[in-house]
Structure 1
Amino acid sequence: MAHKVHPKIFRIAETADWLSRWFERAAYPEALREDYLIRSYITKKLKEASVESVEIERFAGKILVIINTSRPGLLIGRGGSGIEELRAALVKILATDKMSRYQTMPDSRKREIRLEIREIKNPWNSASLTAQWVVQQIEKRMPHRKVMKQAIGKVMANKEIEGVRVEVSGRLGGVDIARRERLSMGRLPLQTLRARIDYALREAKTKYGMIGVKVWMYKGEKFD
């Protein structure tokens, strides 16, 4: 039987990089949970800000949170007020979590949380943002086939994209039996390790249940 492998994990150190870049010897579970809490809060709180990904780096006395978004103005706010509110909220979440080290750690040893905002110029060059758009349209009760065709057309309008696939699964159109539908255009060499494959999985919440949305993008091959 075939075994499905996540396209990005399959290409770590080849064409993709880790979203968490740090090393912890003694407190690895606590640091991993802190990453989970930070990502969960940002993706839920900033749902309308078109956040593609959240990268986390840890240094001595500092946690750097890098937010990649196509709408940085909505996130930053007037005079940077949005950044300060988000930083304060993250500190509060870590301080109130029972498994976090922030409760028992003295103030002198607590790491400072810094936020860095990176703008994504073209959201249709990102599988994550494309999947988010498809989810928003499905939740607005738009026909899924029409949404898939529109997404593929907008993605393939970019010169750097050589292939794309969009797949939706669930009770499409409110039918009783769940099914899966996919549309693709161009090349998508998933078995080539040097192929730069961007992949995203999102879920749309409808009154009939959850609709899964997957997007693959092929951005050419990487040569050293």
Structure 2
Amino acid sequence: MGQKVNPIGFRLGVNRDWRSRWYASPQEMPGFLHSDIEIRDYVKKKLLFAAVSKIVIERAWNSIRVTIFTARPGIVIGRKGAEIEKMTEEISKMAQGKQIKIDIQEIKTPELDAQLVAENVALQIERRIAYRRAMKK
């Protein structure tokens, strides 16, 4: 029997990219990983209905860039950028005062994004729509 391979790790660098783009010493690695998970959980919870596909985190010496890929950038940005500013302040508190930059990337065709399609089907099933009808739409 063969060994089981993680499908995401197997495809990294070929047809998929890393979700965290930074390098750290072995002593800093656990702290950065926990910080990344905390930031991702906060953004997903805050933008539950904004159709967020993925969140990419890049780190430099004293700054963090968070790129949010979404099908609805208007919900993420808010009126006059108010939502982005609030989110930047909250993430800055989590990251011990490092400089935070949030970028928003719009997904032009959300029906081709696997994550968004899966979330849409799950939402329809939660609303008690027949699963065959949800899969066809």
TM-score (norm. length: structure 2): 0.92
Kindly provide the amino acid, as one letter, of the partner of residue 42 in structure 1.
V
1:20 is displaced (CA, Å) by: 0.2
Change (3 A) 1:9 1:49: same
Secondary structure class of the residue paired with 2:57: strand
Question: Counterpart of 2:34?
Answer: 33
Shift of 1:113: 1.1
Q: What is residue 81 of structure 2 aligned with on the other side?
A: 80
Contact 1:60 1:111 in 2 (8 A): no
Match of 1:111 in 2: 98
Structure of higher CA gyration radius:
1
Deviations 1:44-76 (A, max 9, x none): 110100000000000121100000000000110
Q: Partner residue of 1:46?
A: 47
- 1:21 paired residue number: 21
- State the 1:81 CA deviation: 0.7
Question: Corresponding residue for 1:144?
Answer: 131
> Given the superposition, is the C-alpha separation of residues 4 and 136 from structure 1 closer, same or farther in structure 2, using an over 3 Å criterion?
farther
Q: Which amino acid aligns with 1:24?
A: A
SS at match of 2:49: helix
Structure 2 Cα separation of the partners of residues 2 and 36 of structure 1: 31
**Which letter does structure 2 place at the counterpart of 1:131?**
A
TM normalised by structure 1 equals 0.57
Q: Shift of residue 140 of structure 1?
A: 0.3
Paired residues, number: 136
Larger helix percent = 2
Distance 1:141 1:41, change over 3 A: same
What fraction of aligned residue pairs are identical, expressed as a percent?
42
Q: For 1:80 and 1:30, locate their aligned partners in 2 and report how far apart those are by CA, in whole Å.
A: 30
Tell me by how many angstroms 1:147 deviates.
0.9
Q: Is the 8 A contact 2:92 2:98 kept in 1?
A: no
Shift of 1:6: 4.2
Gaps of 5+ in 1: 96-101, 103-109, 151-224
Match for residue 120 of structure 1? 107
Q: 5+ unaligned residues in a row in structure 2: which ranges?
A: none
Question: Could you say which structure has the higher strand fraction?
Answer: 1
In angstroms, what is the RMSD of aligned CA positions? 1.6
